[in-house]
Amino acid sequence: MSTINRQVITPFKRLVAANMVGQAFILSVNVIAPTLIIPFKLKELDPVHYGELFGYISGIIGLIALLFGPFCGYISDRTVSRFGRRRLWILLGGLVGALSIIPTAYATNAIQVAVFWGLSVAALSFNFALNPVLAADQIDESRLGTYGGITGFGGLIFSTAALALMSTLMGASALTLKTTILGVAACVGIIIQVLMIKEGKVEYVYSAKIKGSFIERITAVYPSPRKYPAFTWGLFTRLLIGFAFATSAYNTVMMLQKFKFSDETVQGYVGLIGVITVVTISITTVLGGTLSDKLRKQKPFVYFSGVFMAAALVIQAFTHSFPLVLVSFGMIGIAYGVFLSVDTALMIRLLPNKNNAGKDLGIIGIPTNLANPVVLFIAPFLVATTGWTGFYLVFGAVAFISIFTLFSIPEMSPKQK
């Protein structure tokens, strides 16, 4: 589909600020809900089976969000509105997603929790999908890296601060207070974002449909693994590291069940773990990226990430000392930060065709989005059958296996003198 471009351009600094505000608030909803709201609500409703319920509900909702993402881009592409094709759905998705989290505190059974949380996640899929698309619409390709770094880092810092702040709210009415503050604050953030963005009306003409054999149609969407094997191996690496890191999404249940901490203690530790993770990821992302560019090497950093994350998960598997668990969270943050420092650059280098970069970059996001729902869905089964030791050993092995997927990926070419 080609466009007749009547795009109104938002000034770069203004668009960065707007999307950073919007990203910060929707990320806060997506981080705080599964750590400080949903597990404790399910524990209140079913003190015995809340861990299993949380895993299954999270897995299903994550898969819904994964499938819903492409639909968000599809429908916004075909929206013709003076308000803007992206702005309209960012506003509607943000408001519905933010407000839908509030009723979870008043739910009387797990199904109601799943429905309202699922609606929130599905609606916010518009925001997660369309914020980068809006940037691609309006920002020159040479400045997209700067945009991504600022908005990503800002969103991460803000959501972690919000998580730490929310973890201090205790008492009988804490869930109601948290969901209300979170929902209302996110609505305000989305409105501010939309007011700062300029877009306008865009009209379209449709290009001819892709013709050819079934294989040709498939490879028009996904690059041929036979022709471009390194690209597929890169996706496998992303998926395996993503699986290992996604074990962190089960931290709340782990602290409640393995260490038998009280709700108040867990909420305090959730904020501390968030700070540890953000600090370690932030530092190692910057240092790793700089060192990688200087050495003209990427694969050693991914090797280190897989081995170090595996070691951290082995520690979690066998230790009964929570201070040592906190150390392992720091190790996971370091490993994931090192991985992130080269991951995007590595995958961009492996793109089969720079002319199809937008499509292929969309494919690159699938393993990351797939990791959380898969891990959360199978986590209750693994814990029930192998215990917490087996759970962490399985994903420690997955992290270690990631290093073997790198063997078929070429290294960066040395800098020409």
Q: What is the DSSP string of 155-208?
A: HHHHHHHHHHHHTT--STTHHHHHHHHHHHHHHHHHHHHHHH------EEEPPP
Q: Determine phi and psi for 47, rounding to 5 degrees.
A: -65, -20
| Contact in structure between 298 and 391 (CB atoms under 8 Å) | no
Supply 317's token pair: 């598997």
Give dist(CA 331, CA 173) in Å, integer. Answer: 35
H helix and E strand count, the chain: 14, 2
Give dist(CA 61, CA 39) in Å, integer. Answer: 14
The pTM of the full predicted model, rounded to 2 decimals, is: 0.76
| Helix (H/G/I), strand (E/B), else coil: 352 | coil
Supply 153's token pair: 């880092």
Give dist(CA 71, CA 377) in Å, integer. Answer: 23
Q: Is 358 exposed, middle or buried (0-12, 13-18, 19+ CB in 10 A)?
A: exposed
| Contact in structure between 148 and 46 (CB atoms under 8 Å) | no
What is the structure's pLDDT at 170? 76
DSSP state of 109: S
Assess whether the region 1-203 and the region 224-412 belong to the same CATH fold. Answer: yes
- Determine the longest span between alpha carbons in the chain, in angstroms: 68
Q: CB pairs under 8 A, 24+ apart, for 129-132?
A: 129/69, 129/70, 129/72, 129/73, 129/76, 130/72, 130/73, 130/76, 130/86, 130/89, 130/90, 130/93, 131/19, 131/22, 131/23, 131/90
What is the structure's pLDDT at 194? 93
Number of other CB atoms surrounding residue 365 within 10 Å: 16
| pLDDT tens digits in sequence order for the chain, 417 residues long | 444 456 688 888 998 899 889 988 998 998 899 888 999 999 999 999 998 899 889 888 878 777 776 677 778 777 777 888 888 999 999 999 999 999 999 999 999 999 999 999 889 988 887 887 787 778 775 676 567 667 767 777 888 888 888 888 877 678 899 999 999 999 999 999 999 998 877 765 555 555 555 455 545 567 778 888 888 999 999 999 999 999 998 898 999 999 999 988 998 898 899 889 888 988 887 788 778 878 888 899 999 999 999 999 999 999 999 999 999 999 999 999 889 878 877 877 887 765 555 456 557 767 877 788 888 889 999 999 999 999 999 999 999 999 999 988 888 777 644
Give dist(CA 29, CA 37) in Å, integer. Answer: 10
Which residue from 18, 314, 20, 297 is spatially nearest to 158, judged by alpha carbons? 20
Give dist(CA 122, CA 116) in Å, integer. Answer: 10
CATH of 1-203, one of 1.10.2020.10, 1.20.1250.20, 3.40.50.1980, 3.40.50.920: 1.20.1250.20
The beta-strand segments (E) located in 31-75 are none
The beta-strand segments (E) located in 233-311 are none
| Contact in structure between 199 and 14 (CB atoms under 8 Å) | no
Give dist(CA 185, CA 127) in Å, integer. Answer: 16
Q: Determine phi and psi for 205, rounding to 5 degrees.
A: -120, 145
Give dist(CA 51, CA 183) in Å, integer. Answer: 25
Q: Determine phi and psi for 336, rounding to 5 degrees.
A: -70, -35
What is the structure's pLDDT at 401? 96
Instruction: State how far the alpha carbon of 77 is from the alpha carbons of 24, 92, 130, 133, 205, in Å.
Output: 24, 15, 10, 10, 11
CA within 13 Å, CB half, 172: 0
Superfamily of domain covering 224-412: MFS general substrate transporter like domains (1.20.1250.20)
Supply 225's token pair: 């693994």
Give dist(CA 225, CA 219) in Å, integer. Answer: 9
Strand (E) or helix (H) holding 262: none
Amino acid at 255: M
Q: What's the chain's Rg over C-alpha atoms?
A: 22
Q: Determine phi and psi for 2, rounding to 5 degrees.
A: -105, 155
Q: What does the domain layout of the chain look like in residue ranges? A: 1-203, 224-412
Strand (E) or helix (H) holding 2: strand 2-4
Which residue from 228, 239, 251 is spatially nearest to 333, judged by alpha carbons? 251
Q: Determine phi and psi for 291, rounding to 5 degrees.
A: -65, -40
